[in-house]
Structures are given as structure tokens and as C-alpha cells.
Structure 1
Amino acid sequence: MAQRQSIVTGQQSGVEPGSSSNTGKTVASINAGILSVVVFFLLFAFVGGCVSLRQRGEITAREKILAVVDGEPITEEDLKYSLQITHRREDLSSAGSLSMSEYVQKLIDDMLMIEEARRMGMEQDPQVQQAVKAYILRESVVKLYDEEISRKVSISDKDIPGYYKKNYERFSLGIIEVSSKEEAGNIAGQLKKGADFSDLARKYSTHRSGKNGVDVVLTRRSMSPYIGEAIAGLSPGELSDILKIRDKYYIVKLVSRKEAPDEELKNVRKEIEKVVRKQKEKKRADEYLEYLRERAAIKVNKELLSAISQDKGDEEASDWSKDKRAVAEVNGSVLTAGEFAAIARPYKGKAKENILNSWIDRKVVDHEALSRHYETAPDLKKKIERYEDQLLKQAFTNKVIIPKIKISDKSLKDYYMKHREDFAEPVRFRVEQITVKTMNEARELLSNLQDGTDFSWLAMKKSIDSAGPKGGEVGWLTMQEFPGPVREIVAALKTGEISPVFKVGSFYRIIRLQGKLKGEIGRFEEVRDAVYKACFKEQFNDLRDKFVAQLKAKARIKVYDKAVKSLEERLRK
């Protein structure tokens, strides 16, 4: 996300403004909002739109080719990957309603823009290269973790029952909670003299259980670590010492303890497996990190580190930011005093040694991950190519399309006047409804309504929803506020008409449209931001389509319609 925004910001100055209008609005005021619109629109296009998936590597025999653009194939796997990115899900069931032919055309458009970006040398853009390097590092670290941590951790048959027995053991506790050490000491003295714990809890305790004198039942994993430690050596009936937890003081009585019931293990097995795996991975990760540190060439300038102040003023901070001396070095990677000062600035309460150790830990992991050259493996190589394609498509958009967008105050007002209806408030509908449990009952009520029975009276008598007591009155709603299945029914009704019976969830409903209000058109000043976004989007789409049309005119494109149709049919099943 940060990378995406930095690229957009870098192209801001390329947008050509229009002239000022008679309203006194300056060009600067028009352009002041363009960055937010660019970011908003590009995020939509970059994430929600069609992601180009050019494959420069070899195509396997199993990959079905859907189209070829200037010798570069678009495969079925490319399209499926793009759909997964667009739909943000693993399954493609929601893609069944899409036109695969149209989607393939979008992929072709993307590929043409990406190839043009390459022809223009955008692969050499420092921001693109930096983003690719960061992506390779990130994915390499993920693979290293998988190889050295995840795959080397296993859950034995004894791990889950063992964790369950220990952490799901049930403790019945009496708890007295007070606000001062003196009060807690006074209560402890009374308990030593034989006073009843429950009586004192009811009299003094501010804990929710104390007023009723009721014991609290907790498992070991659900209780405070302080309480768990305090009762660890107690036998039933014994009392803890006075405990201070935050600003409260506690005395705890162990009433009883029971083993975790075997029959309930199956209900929490999956949850326990996740917890145990996480614990084992943490232990393995700590061991592996120590191993990497032992093998690494690490140098620390302790004298310079101690000289860097975290509580420095602006002037001293500025001096440190220019300091190029090395505070630490890991396998040739240097951390300067200025860089360390910048890293440490947000962590004034944290020890400098801990901050530096975090940097060293990260560097030894990064070096090990990169040294394994995971990026040469076919699967990661393909992912890198796909990611680079996304960056190039965005770079092309920023450097070629956006600089040609021209928005002036006059163009905004012209757009508003031409599309006034687009900036109207939503149409509102006033409805009454009757909801019942069965289709037969609903049909009988509909027959009564058609015979002239008053809708409101019938709703008060028969409807089981919250609107029933109000005569079925729901009030004024926009179309988006109606449940999905109801929208088409409401849209088809005229004022005064009654709907047929329809099902909503497990109930049956009838509605009557009482009235309809057309939304008022917002004044230009009120909807200016929305007009700006719409105007920007229109210009962007027009310019992109023109560029793509020019590129298509020069390209050699072949679409394999049978393969596309076959994929479309399979996705719809």
C-alpha cells in the first residue's frame, strides 16, 4: 500500500490543470484534491480491477492458453489468479456470473499496457525496482519460515491431551478484591482468626462475585497469571497471600479443583492444536534465530550506541540524523547512527540495546532468506513476475494516463450539469409489511387483502415482526436498505399496490407501497467532491481506452474462443 501511494505521489505534478472559473476558485483549489482522488481511484483499479498476469516463464503442458498477445500467452491459470485477486477468495463460485470473454479482453488490455511500460523502460524505475526487491525479500522470508520453522514443528499424540489436562483443569475460587493494602491486611487478619471467607467477601469485596458470595469457576488458561501462580501450591480450603494486580488487592481461596473432563476435549481439539503449534513454532523460531546470530558476522559500536540520546531536542536530533558512523553491522549491512536515531525515536521508553537487537534479528533473517535464492524457484519466479506486472501497469497509469487528465472548475460544473441526476439523493420508499411463518397463512392473508381488508389492521392482528404493532409501518427506506430479494419487488410496485407473497429467510412476507419520493439533486457545492471523482474517473477511462485502442491496432492478438467458453461453462457449474 505504501509503495502504491509513493508512486502516485511521484506523479502528482504531471496533472495539467485547467483555467479558473468566474466563481473565483483557483486552479490550485481544483488540484488540491487530486491526490486523494488519484489514490482512491488507483486503489480501486489496482486491487479491485483486472490484474495483468503476463508469464515470461515457460508454460506447462497443463496450462490451457486462452489468448496470445504478440507471442505472449494468457493462460487459464492467469485468469483464475486474477479472479482470485479481484474476488479476494480462494473459490471462484462468485465468478460464475461473469463473462469470461470480457474478462479475457481486460487481461489483454492489461498486457498491452504492461508491454508498453516495458518498452518505455519503466522496469528501470527506481520505485518499481525497489518494490520488486522488497517483495522478493518478503516472500523469501516467508519461505524460510516455512522451511525452517513450520515444517520442522510437529504435534504429537500426547501434545493435545497434555495441554488440555493442564490448561482446562477447573478451579473453584473465592475472591476478595479491595482497593487498598491496609484493607486487604485487615481482612487477612480476620481470616486468620477464623472469619468466614464468604461473609467477608459479601461485606468488603468489590469483585463481581463477592456481593453474592458465589465462587468463581475458572480454567487455568482463563485466569490471570498472577492468580494462577498464587494458587499453584494451594490445597482446597487454603488461602493465598495478598496479591496486588494493577491498582487492586486480592485474597484468593482455593475452594476445589477438578480435572478437565475427557468428553469435552473433542470440542476444543482444533483450538488447542493451533495454540500448541504456535508455542512450538515460537520455541523453534527462537532457537533458529540464535543459530543464525551465532553464524553471522555482527559488529556493534557500543560506545557510539551509548552516546545516542533518545530524549534529544530537535536540534540534536537533526545532528544525529546526519551522522554516517556505523552503530552496527550484520554480514556487511550497516546501520548508521542517523538511521538508528530515526528507528529509536518512536520508542523512547525502550532500551536502545533492545531496539538494536531487533534490527540485528531482522537482518540475520533477511540475509539467510536471500542467500537461499528462492526467487529462482518456478513458483516464486512466477509470483514475482505477476507482482512486477502489477507495478508496471500502475507505473504506466501514473506516467502516461494521469498526466493528461485536465480538470478545471468549469469542467466540473459542466460535468455536474450534464449528469445532475447522478448526484441526487437516493429514491425513498414508504412501505407497510406483514410477516408470517408459513406460505399457507401468507396466501390466506393476501386473499383477504385482495378482497379489501385493511392492510394496517391485518398487520396489527397477524404480523409477527417488529412492525406489526405499528400496523406494519416500516417507514421511509432507500432501495439499498431493503433485503436483496425485496428490491426487485419494491421497484416493480406502484403506489398503493400490494406485492405477491415472497420469502425472506425462513418467513413469508407481503408488502404494500404507500409512497415514493424522488431524491433531491444536491447543490454543486454540496456534491463537489463526488463530482470531482466522477469527472476524474470518466476522463481516466476515456484516456485509458484510447491508449489501449492505439496499442491494439499495432498488436497481434489471438483469442481461443473455445477454450474461453469451456472455462466459462466449468466456472458456472
Structure 2
Amino acid sequence: TNFVQVQIRTIAFRQENQAESAAALVRAGASLDSLALASSLDTYRYRGGLHNLKPLIDVEEPYRSHAAAMQPGQISPIFPYREAYAFFRLEQRLPADTAEYSRYVPEIQSVFQARKRDAAWKVFMQEMETRFPATVDSAILARIEADSALLFTPTFVNDNPAVVVRVDDRHTLTEGKLRSTVSRQAMTSGDERFGRSIEKALREATEELRLLAAADADRFRERPEVTARHADSRDSALVDAYLKETVVAKITFNREEFAAYYAEHPEEFREPAQVKVDRIAAADSAAAFEAARRLADGADYGYIAGQYNIGVSDGTAQEWAPLASFPDNIRNDLDTLTIGRSTRPYNTSDGWIILHVADRRPGRVKPLADVEMKIREVMFRRKFAEGLDRVLAVLKQESTITRNEAEIDRYFGSNK
């Protein structure tokens, strides 16, 4: 399936309702290529949204996932894409080109290796689940979920010893530990949903309990190689646990801090700049590089476009497009160009093109509500660093530190 050849015709809009209206028009019989040429934000609009025929594996996500299940003539659902909303129609679907097989052998091998590893781990964990069934106290989970509004306050975390997950009497997870895990994950996981944080923490903790139960049942702790690894990792594990208890557990937030940080750092939350670009579709590489050379020497863009552009449009700018909607290499170049300057030639899947910056404007600053989780993440790192500095200062003042110079030299590979 990954190597069947497909051709798609795409269209993208800034607003989801614009994409919905366009999709309704296309389903009613409107010309998708005309709509794309007139309104689309992506660079394929100059070809009426049409992409070259290519193996499915070379199609960019999320287009690839949708195209894999489609037949020619079908229209995809609307989906977010590079800070826009897009949909497409599958124009062609042809059998794989066997002549291209050798080029994809390494990629095919890596895919199968990853699948085998994932499948083996899944089977192993299913065996652990059968061997060590776990019980979950749903009432405690409901109690934690009810405290979602308190997540970033000291009240959310507690030392409640009530058991929320039990594999056996020796391998349990308490409410207090689960709350601490959820709190830490939420502080560092951006905008992940609260319910998702609980599910993730619960799943990972249950897997760990089963693995520990299996290790004890199979007397792993008595094996020399396990004992050696345990000794090597014990100190770092103790340090990690100590930091979690003395630093992470004391980190708290309030909305006033968020608002202050937001006001002081507006540029961190500004959306990507937007540009209006003209486009020259050159006949070949020689024409593209000659046109680019003449533009760099100061030639008038309109004149050069008239001489070299073979695209379906006249090469003039259409609508504002976010920089994020362009491929990475093109976006990086456009980001540095001033109005009136042109890019180098690009050898794209649709031929040689040159882009010309007709206009540009800064992106808007996102509202506080949209970036609150990002601010939490930044402030968590800052407060963790501050808390760590305080703990280390106390340790330095009240601890006796012995330096083993021979071991230090050995660690750093010194010849002394």
C-alpha cells in the first residue's frame, strides 16, 4: 500500500468554515482546480492544487493517511495542516512502480523492524497482563478527575495512601503517588488534556508494577548481572527521587504569574509571519537559475515573470499565507527576505519554481488562554532550576563532600 502511486489535488484555507464551504461547493460540482487557483493558501494553488504522481510513502502527512484509504474521485475530510485547514481529492491511484523498489529497501527494512519490536513488546505486555492482573479503584480515579481545577495548586498533590492500582500486596500504586505523577506530567506536557494525563500515568504505572512483580517472581534481583546494573543505577535513582520530593513537589503556579509572563514576553506567543508571494514556474533548471540571476541583479520581477513563467497563473500574488504553510526549506528562505526580494530556485515535485515576496506582515499574538499551558511549561522549568539551586546550596553548606581524584580522572579520561 505504501508504494502505490497517487496523485492528489489540494486546497487549504485559513479558517475551517472556509474549507467547509469550499468542500460543499466541490461536492456540489464546483471545479476544485478553479477554487484552488483562486483561493488556496498552499503553493500548489498555481497548478490548481494538483500534485505530481508519486508513491504514497512520499506523500506528506496527514495527506498520506487519508489517501491510503481513498479511491480516485473521493474527497477527503477537512483536517488541520500547517496552521490552515485543508482537504483534497484523489485524482489517480496506480499500482506500485517496481523499478523504484531498490530505492526504498532500507526504509522498508526499518519499518518492518520497528513493527516487529512493537509487536513483540505488545505480546510480552499482554502476557504480563494475564500473568499479573491488576485491579483499579474507579472511585479514587473519579476523585482525582474531580480535582482537575486544582491541578496546578498545592491542594491537588497529597500523600493519600489509598491504593488505586493493585497487582498484589507488594506491588501497588497509591493515590498520592498517582497524583504526583499526573501533576509532573501536566507541568511538562504542554496542552495535553487532563484526562489524557491520568490515562497515561495510570497505564505506565500499571505496566511498571507488572514488570516489577514479574522480576520478583522470577528472582531477577538475585541474578549477578541485574545486581550489578542495579548498583550502577541506584545513586542516580536516589538523586532523581530526592529532587522530585524536595523540588518538584513544592512547585506551584497562579494566574497572576501567567499573566505577568505573557505581558513581558509577547513575541514568544506571536504566530508565524504571513506573506504574499508571487511565483515563477520555470521550464527547466537552466531557465530557473537564469531568471533567479537576473532578479538578483535587480531586474523587474513583472518583466522576468512574463519572460520565464510557464505556470497556469500569471505569477502574481494571491492571498496572505502563513509562513508555516510552506515547506521548511522554502519557509526558512522566505523568513529572511524583505519585500521585493526573490528566493533561489527550488526543484520541487512540480518542477522548478522561484518565489517573490510581494508583501509581508507579522503574525498576531495568541491570546493568553491559548498559550497558558506553554507558559506553565516554561515556568515549571524556571522554578525547577531555582528550586534545584536552593537545594544544592543547602547541600553544599551542610554536607561533607569527598573528592576521589583518581576516579574523576578515570571518568574524564585524564592521562595524569
**Normalization by structure 1: what TM-score?**
0.34
Structure with bigger gyration radius: 1
Higher relative contact order, structure no. (Cα contacts within 8 Å, ≥ 6 residues apart) = 1
